[in-house]
Structure 1
């Protein structure tokens, strides 16, 4: 499955991660210091491959690589918040989908790019008609992602401690309507 999403910056294409073919790219992105909030900077290539194989084989998780202008530039994960470390902290409702995203480290940032990426990932999540609400749990120290989450309609529900990740996180949700309202009039 590959999906295309238009944005103000052009077209983004999203396709499932191939855990064997994409591992060098994913390891380079996740080992970069700018990816510290993913808690995988010290993973070996084998650790990274093992992680993405487990996601690929899971019934409750999916990983995607996003491309822009023909080149890979972001990673997205969609998952069931009822299955994983968020479960004890979140009353999962039918239609809830968890989300993570990572913009690849770059030396040539493009204005508005990260907002276009998170908007694309939200469009991917809501492309499934069964999705009613997207749930995230960013580290409380990740101020840049909090601004992005707010821009696309997320609301902080509570602060939770995730022992497995050893982080304090803002449990935040965004309904389909919150997303549409927040991004109304924004070029996508």
Structure 2
């Protein structure tokens, strides 16, 4: 079952990150919002067009028969990425030009923050599942993510993302060479979340889990949320907004997003929670 919440700050601060039914492993598509009772005049279809990403995928499929699909590439190490001392993770290399659905998260590189140098490193389940599973078995986390249990539970959650079409990329958050958080960077406009708010093309979503109790309650959540949101905007020119959906009841989590420069946009009813839709706008990033 997809997670419903994650801790960003104190041990009692659980930031809701994934709503049931909106995870990358559901295989569903965003609701189109069409009205079955609407008029069926043929003029209604004149403006319909396939998304650019879908057209690009078709084109690549014709040019590269037998290709395993977007988001598949050779594994890499943190040392090769310029970060020493950590084992794990893989790269989703879509080739020159960065044509995958999230503009090659693996190649975004490190970003300086007020708490150290931070980097998102795509997860490699066979190496990183034990660490992520240990975090998920923290009772404070398990109550919301619902991924406690043996490593196979986490592997089952990670695998559809890693082997999927690239619309969601699970990552380790590495701070000064040490993995200390779990992230999911995903295309919110291609996620079932888009059924519940007025999504725009290339909206990019964030799910976050601060791994250990020692890293909570230090203000890391707000610092890293802001850094990652701005990194997304820097690396994804087509993305105008970064979104998140913490549980509305989780006041500390909502506060962390506000401190990170997100604005409170709306309340949305998700399958397992009423969420606060938090938005960081490219146009407002220098003001918030």
Q: Which runs of no fewer than 5 residues in structure 2 stay unpaired?
A: 1-105
Name the counterpart of 2:115.
Answer: 9
| Superposed CA offset, 1:140-173 (max 9, x none) | 122222111111222222222211xx11111222
Name the counterpart of 2:224.
Answer: 117
The CA deviation at 1:38 is 4.4
Query: Is 1:29 aligned to residue 109 of structure 2?
Result: no
User: Mean alpha-carbon deviation: is it higher for 58-67 or for 42-51?
Assistant: 42-51
Q: CA RMSD in A?
A: 2.0
Query: Is 1:84 aligned to residue 84 of structure 2?
Result: no
Task: Within 5 Å, give how 1:18-57 maps onto structure 2.
Answer: 18-36=124-142, 38-57=144-163
| Superposed CA offset, 1:115-152 (max 9, x none) | 22212321332122121101111111222221111112
Following the alignment from structure 1 to structure 2, what is the Cα–Cα distance between the partners of residues 78 and 108?
21
Structure 1 pair 43/180, CA: closer, same or farther in 2 (3 Å)? farther
State the secondary structure of the residue aligned to 2:287: helix
| Structure having the larger proportion of residues in strand | 1
User: Mean alpha-carbon deviation: is it higher for 96-105 or for 152-161?
Assistant: 152-161
Name the counterpart of 1:186.
Answer: none
The CA deviation at 1:92 is 1.5
TM-score, normalised with respect to structure 1: 0.85
The CA deviation at 1:42 is 3.2
The CA deviation at 1:17 is 0.9
Query: Is 1:99 aligned to residue 206 of structure 2?
Result: yes
User: Mean alpha-carbon deviation: is it higher for 144-153 or for 113-122?
Assistant: 113-122
Across the two proteins, how many residue pairs are aligned to each other? 180
User: Mean alpha-carbon deviation: is it higher for 75-84 or for 94-103?
Assistant: 75-84
Following the alignment from structure 2 to structure 1, what is the Cα–Cα distance between the partners of residues 256 and 182?
16
Query: Is 1:158 aligned to residue 158 of structure 2?
Result: no
Larger Rg: 2
Q: Which runs of no fewer than 5 residues in structure 1 stay unpaired?
A: 183-188
Following the alignment from structure 2 to structure 1, what is the Cα–Cα distance between the partners of residues 208 and 119?
15
The CA deviation at 1:110 is 7.1
Of 161, 164, 172 in structure 1, the residue corresponding to residue 278 of structure 2 is 172
Following the alignment from structure 1 to structure 2, what is the Cα–Cα distance between the partners of residues 47 and 94?
32
